[in-house]
Amino acid sequence: MTRKLYYENQYITDFEAEVVSCVKNGRFYETVLTETAFFPEGGGQPGDTGAINGVRVADTKEINGEIIHFCEGEVSGRVRGSIDWENRFLNMQQHSGEHIFSGVIHRLTGFDNVGFHMSGTEMTVDFNGYISPQVIEQAELETNMCIYENTPFEIIWPKADEVADYTFRSKKEIEGQLRLVKVGEADLCACCGTHVSRAGEVGIVKVISVMNYKKGVRITLRAGRRALEDYIAKNRSIAEISASLCAKTEETAQAVEKLKEKLGAVKYELVGVKNELFAEIIKDIDGKMPAVFYEKGSADDARILADMLADKTKLAFAFCGGGDGGYKYAAVGRDIDVREAGRTLNEKLGGRGGGRPDCVMGSVTASREKIEKAVAEYIEQGYNR
C-alpha cells in the first residue's frame, strides 16, 4: 500500500519514490508509487496535479485502495514527484474554510452539511434545512473571527474504543480508521482531505450566493485567494458601474433603482407610441387575413401587433425584424386554434416555435416574399375548415 506523505505533512511538495506499476489505460499511464505526496480526490476535494520525473500528472484518485497517478507519459524506476503547490494550497484554503463555516452553521442551526463540492472556480456546500440570511451572515462573521484568531487545525486518529468519546460531524458512515479534523471550538469533523495548519492561512471566507436546494439550501463560498480574486473582480465592476452612473460606489444601488424607474417610464411611453403605430399599420386592413410586417420589431412586437389585428380579423399573422435574414412571428386567433398555422409556417419556412391554441410564436428564416406566399397558400386552403 502506498505511503501517504500528505497525511504526514500536508506541506510536502517534492518527494522520491519507487514506481510499483505504470499501465497505459486510454490517454493516461495509471501509475502507483511506493509513497506519494499527491492527494487523491476525496471528501469533495479534487485530486492533486503536478509532475513525476517531469511527466505531467493530470489527476490523482484512489481506486480500490490504490492511489493512482494519471500520468501523461510512462515513468519507471526511482522517480521524483512534485505536486502543483499553488493548486494544492488553493484547495487547502477552500477545504479548511468550508470546515469552519460548516461547523459554525451546525452549531447555530443544528443542520448538517450533506453535500460538498470543490471545482477550479467555486465551492458549494449543501445543508439539510432552511437557513435565514441573518444566520448565514452571522456564520460568515464567526467563521472569519476564527480565522483572525489563527485557530490551529488538529488531526486526531482515535482508536476504535475511543470513537464514542468524540461528537463529530460526518456526511457518511465511516469504515476503517477514523480521521478527525478539529478546529478549536469551531468544528470537529471526519474528513480525509488536506488542510492548513492554522486558520489564519485561510485568509477569508466569503458567502457568494445562497439558493434553495432540495429540502435545504446550497451555499456557494470562496476562501483565501479565490475570495480575494472575487472581490477584485467585483470591485472593478462596481467601479465601472459607478463611473457610468456618475454615482459614488456606495450609492450605485440607489442610482440603479433611479435608472430603472426612468427606463420604466420610457418603456411605458414607448408602448403607447408603438400601439399608436401598430394601430396606424392595421387601420386599413379588412377581413382578408393578411400577413402584417413591422421590419424593426421584436418577438413581443409581433405578438402585440398580431393581437391587435386579431380584433379585426378571425386569424392574424404578424412578422417583425428581418434584419438578420429571418423574422420573429406571432399568429393569433379568435375562436380558432392557431397551432396548425404555426406548424405550417415552421414546415414551409424553416421555422421553429409553438404556443397555445390562441397564440403561437416563433421564428422563420425566409424572405418576406416567401412568407407572404406561404400565408396566402394557407389561407386559400381553408384555415377555417
Q: What is the pLDDT of residues 53-90, one digit of tens each?
A: 999 999 999 999 999 999 999 999 999 999 999 999 99
Same domain, 67 and 119: no
Q: In whole angstroms, how far apart are CA 180 and each of 112, 155, 183, 255, 261?
A: 16, 6, 10, 50, 55
Strands 205-213 and 216-223: antiparallel
Residue finishing a domain among 215, 232, 249: 232
Q: How many domains does the chain have?
A: 3
Q: Judge whether 125 and 101 are in contact, CB under 8 Å.
A: yes
Question: How far is it, in rounded angstroms, from Cα 84 to Cα 359?
Answer: 58
pLDDT digits (tens, 9 = 90+) for 263-278: 999 988 888 888 888 8
**115 burial class (0-12, 13-18, 19+ CB within 10 angstroms)?**
middle
> Among residues 95, 308, 81, 293, which one has the least CA distance to residue 189?
95
Q: Which helix (H) or strand (E) holds 102?
A: helix 85-109
Residue 47: give the domain boundaries: 3-83
Same domain for 194 and 150: yes
Nearest to 148 by CA among 92, 90, 97, 95: 97
**What is the band of 379 on the pLDDT scale with cuts at 50, 70, 90?**
confident
Decide if 55 contacts 75 (C-beta within 8 A).
yes
Residue where one domain finishes, among candidates 199, 232, 265: 232
Kindly state the average pLDDT of the residues 146-155: 97
* 248 within domain boundaries: no
The single-letter DSSP state of residue 152 is B
- Regarding whether 111 and 13 lie in a shared domain, the answer is no
Percentages of the chain per state (helix, strand, coil), in multiples of 5: 40, 30, 30
Please tell me whether residue 231 adopts helix, strand or coil conformation: helix
Q: Is residue 240 part of a domain?
A: no
Looking up cell 454615482 gives 247
Find the mean pLDDT for residues 28-48.
Answer: 95
Q: What per-residue string of b and e applies to 56-65 under the rule 16 or more CB within 10 Å gives b?
A: ebebbbbeee
User: Residue 138's domain is classified under what CATH number?
Assistant: 3.30.980.10
Contact 178, 163 (CB under 8 A): yes
Q: Are residues 66 and 185 in the same domain?
A: no
Domain membership of residue 257 (yes or no) is: no
Q: Flag whether 256 is in a domain.
A: no
**Whether 116 and 73 share a structural domain:** no
> Which DSSP string corresponds to 240-262?
HHHHHHT--GGGHHHHHHHHHHH
Q: What is the pLDDT of residues 185-230, one digit of tens each?
A: 999 999 999 999 999 999 999 999 999 999 999 999 999 999 999 9
Percent of the chain clearing pLDDT 70 (strictly above):
97
Joined grid coordinates for residue 101: 463555516
What's the mean pLDDT when you consider all of the chain? 92
- Cell triple for residue 299? 418577438
Q: Are 107 and 129 within one domain?
A: yes
* pLDDT band, very low/low/confident/very high, at 382 (cuts 50, 70, 90): low
CA angle, corner 380, sides to 379 and 385, nearest 5?
70
Q: What is the pLDDT of residue 324?
A: 66
* pLDDT band at residue 290 using 50, 70 and 90 as cut-offs: low
Residue 247 within a domain: no
pLDDT of residue 385: 40
Q: Which residues contact 275 (CB under 8 A, 6 or more apart)?
A: 304, 308
Q: Tell me, what CATH number does 301's domain have?
A: 3.10.310.40
Considering just the CA atoms, what is the radius of gyration of the chain in Å?
A: 32
Residue where a domain stops, chosen among 232, 257, 277: 232
In 37-193, the DSSP E strands lie at 50-52, 55-63, 66-71, 78-83, 113-118, 123-127, 153-156, 180-183, 187-190
Query: Are 321 and 373 in a shared domain?
Result: yes
Q: Which helix (H) or strand (E) holds 228?
A: helix 224-245
- Between the alpha carbon of residue 332 and those of residues 168, 296, 304, 320, the distances in Å are 63, 20, 10, 14
Q: What is the pLDDT of residue 2?
A: 95
In a domain, 172, yes or no: yes
